[in-house]
């Protein structure tokens, strides 16, 4: 595990986003977020994006991801 990935656990993110997805479906809500896990946590977007697709998009939850500079 690289030093930049020491803090980020992809399985935990998947579990959390699954819970967010279930609640969003229940409420008929959309999800708006930055590129979570890619800043100080050290996650890699190329691994995080597919988790978002699997947990939220495939459940028909509208998702908007913002890029902050």
pLDDT of residue 6: 58
Q: Which domain holds residue 40?
A: 3-66
pLDDT of residue 68: 78
pLDDT averages per 10-residue partition of the chain, 69 residues: 64 96 98 90 93 97 91
The closest of 35, 30, 37 to 59, measured between CA atoms, is 30
Looking up residue 22, the CATH number of its domain turns out to be 3.40.220.10
Q: How many domains does the chain have?
A: 1
DSSP 8-state symbol, 28: T
The closest of 35, 31, 38 to 66, measured between CA atoms, is 35
């Amino acid at each position: 595990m690289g030093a930049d990935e020491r803090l980020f656990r992809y399985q935990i993110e998947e579990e959390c986003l699954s819970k967010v997805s279930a609640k969003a479906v229940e409420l008929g809500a959309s999800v708006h977020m930055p590129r979570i896990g890619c800043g100080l946590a050290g996650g890699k977007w190329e691994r995080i994006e597919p988790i978002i697709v699997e947990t939220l998009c495939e459940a028909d939850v509208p998702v908007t991801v913002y890029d902050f500079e």
